[in-house]
Structure 1
Amino acid sequence: MAIKRRVAALAATGGLLGFLLLVPAHNKRTLAQEAPGMAGPVAQSAQAPAVKTAAEVYKNIKVLKDIPAYELIPTMEFISASLGVRCEYCHVEHHFDQDTKRPKLRAREMMQMMFAIDKDNFHGHMEVTCNTCHNGSAHPAGIPAVAEAAVAARPDHPEGPEEHVNLASLPQPDAIVAKYVEAIGGAEALRKIKSRVITGTMTVFGHAMPIEIDAQAPDLWASVTTLPRGRIVTIYNGHEGWAAGAPRPPHVLEGGELDEARLEADFYFPLDLHQDFVSLRERPPQKINGHDAYVVLGFRPGMPPVQFYFDQQSGLLLRMVYLTQTAVGLLPEQTDYSDYREVDGVKLPFQWTVSRPGVQSTVQVAEIRQNVPISESKFTIPAPQHAAGQ
């Protein structure tokens, strides 16, 4: 079962952050990401294939010049969310390479300070990030708030804090995943499904847009979201990913984007958890939208863990949190699943909400058709186009 969340994130962020940088990226190869400890921003595995750096692809990159080019836009997203600002706070619109604005110069100084703090105090592990001090404000508050203001400004945690729990008393991750598989119909029913076409609408900032998702076993996936001024198309063909949609030019998926697309495209994802992750570990239960939920973390070498939240009663997957490694911290993407309905003996969510810092999108499914023929052309990645003189 494809997870079906990535297209919502692409459409939600495409109109806001896709225009952050001037020079479009050329075809690049993937690079193994940092281990969860997150060493410094330029550390790379000796076995990792060569990739273009940010300085090779984008103009006037100073502090972040040595990071992989594909990591630059997620890094900008992290900074934007941490400071609660938009691109134009630091950048001149249509001239993003210019150093006209003081906040851009200050941001470079702040990143250098942050890297130095982590290097000198945390052995290079990224413990202090932009969000550590800013926490959504362009100007960190250096003075504690008085009582009334402090209560008003205190972050609301409706799910409640984690309490001390004896993990040995909880079901093992294997049992939690097994209950999930049974809750959605069982392995035999899942294996009977070979293809799936989903149609519906995606709502972002109050605007509803048509969406179609095509998936075919074992790992083909494509989506088309129709926007007022064009379309967003995403394709994963079993080993490569590709996306296109204004304002970003067509580009090959790499790094976190490619990894997320690969997980998305795993048609039998509930059955393949042990193949996708080297280990699964439980964490203290939490309440998710009023439901008691077991928490399971999926670990892979060199990648941040993926968080899964399963309803203790029904066994259904309620929430998934995917973390993207950036040069300045981990960028979260949370997907909440609801309105499960049975289709051809398999339960599927007919609604899911994707939340990222500063933006949220909701997909409402109108129809799901399974075991229907899908043209191979839908999963074909177009040949790269090279502009004259490029």
Structure 2
Amino acid sequence: MKTLKTLFVALIVIAMVPATAQTADEILSKYFENTGGVEAWNKLESVKMVGSASGGGMEIPVELYNAKDGRTLVKINIQGQELTQIAFDGESMWTTNFMTMLPEKSDAEATANMKSKLGDFPSPFLNYKEKGYAVEYLGKETKEGTEVFKVMLTQKPVMVDGKEEPSVTYYYFDTENYVPIMTEAEITAGPMKGQMGTSTMSDYQEVDGLYFPFSMTMSGQGIQMKEIILNPELEASMFAFPEDKTTEEKK
């Protein structure tokens, strides 16, 4: 009798393993279906987002550009002065040093970590198996009064102080609409290094058949999108490090 009971429990455990794995894929399938479809997301080449960030009692204009080949640009405008917060041309990454107001290349470690995310546009979940990523469904929770599915995404390791560290992000999908409303991940650089960083997404709106969150927070910084443009024309010079300007300013 004991043997039969043990066998019965083992069969239940075996049966649950593929069901758990399928649940994560079902959540992602529903997410892409509800936001425009996998085929449409795969065709997306680039995005331009125009909005504003709130901070210090000010509204700071923000422009974000992302492309399938990994190119990334974030520009902000403070009191009429346009600054590049981050730029990546697929090979090198740079930013504006707010002390000297000059462009400054990022260190090798930060650049390598940026390169490891080259295939993440428009979503790290899109074709995630081909990227070598893994997803795991961790059950239901409640976040900010909303019932959510918790999904763990494991990406390629990142370098932290010269050592490889796991790259794990927890996504919380609204159980009603199957869209992510929050993410949590450990911060690997900067003054908040080692702490858990939280981002939120809400106010999903349709843009040419695809749905994007128009309201976001990143580590407490609120960003409100005013316009999202799909497949804008992108000039290579937008992302390139301005060597000549740096040289001229230093003379």
For structure 2, list consecutive stretches of 5 or more residues without a partner in the other structure: 1-15, 158-164
Answer whether contact 2:92 2:105 (CA < 8 A) is retained.
Answer: no
Q: Percent identity?
A: 20
- The 8 Å contact of residues 238 and 262 in structure 1, kept in 2 or not, is answered as no
Question: Which among 224, 246, 250 is matched to residue 98 of structure 2?
Answer: 246
Contact 1:351–1:365, Cα closer than 8 Å, also in 2: yes
* Deviations 1:3-49, CA, capped at 9 Å, x for gaps: xxxxxxxxxxxxxxxxxxxxxxxxxxxxxxxxxxxxxxxxxxxxxxx
Map Cα deviations across residues 238-272 of structure 1 (whole Å, 9 max, x no partner).
Answer: 23322114137623154457536864883232414
Structure 1 position 353 matched with structure 2 position 214: no
The whole-number CA distance in structure 2 between the counterparts of 1:258 and 1:207 is 33
Q: How far, CA to CA, are the matches of 2:82 and 2:118 in structure 1? A: 20
In the superposition, relative to structure 1, how do residues 308 and 260 fare at CA in structure 2: closer, same or farther (>3 Å)?
farther
Q: Deviations over 1:340-380 (max 9, x none)?
A: 0000100001110012xxxx211111111112212221122
Structure number with the bigger relative contact order (C-alpha 8 A, sep ≥ 6) is: 1
1:207 is aligned to 2:58: yes
Alignment length (residue pairs): 219
Moved more, 215-224 or 270-279: 270-279
In the TM superposition, what are the counterparts of 1:72-83 in structure 2 within 5 Å?
Answer: none
Q: What is residue 132 of structure 1 aligned with on the other side?
A: none
Match of 2:79 among 221, 228, 249: 228
Identify the residue that residue 320 of structure 1 maps to in structure 2. 183
Query: Contact between 1:218 and 1:268, CA under 8 Å: does it hold in 2?
Result: no
- Please point out which of 122, 127, 136 is paired with 1:268: 122
* Corresponding residue number in structure 1 for 2:222: 362
RMSD in angstroms over aligned alpha carbons? Answer: 3.2
Partner of 1:189: 40
Distance 1:202 1:329, change over 3 A: closer
TM-score, normalised on structure 2?
A: 0.74
Partner SS for 1:190: helix
Instruction: Determine if the alignment matches structure 1 residue 293 to structure 2 residue 145.
Output: no
2:197 matched to 1:333? yes
What secondary structure is seen at the aligned counterpart in 2 of 1:181? Answer: helix
1:49-85 alpha-carbon deviations (Å, 9 max, x no partner): xxxxxxxxxxxxxxxxxxxxxxxxxxxxxxxxxxxxx
Task: Give the drift of 1:315.
Answer: 0.8
The CA distance in 1 between the partners of 2:189 and 2:98, in whole Å, is: 23
Q: Which stretches in structure 1 are left out of the alignment for 5+ residues?
A: 1-166
2:72 maps to a residue whose letter is: W
1:308 matched to which residue of 2? Answer: 171
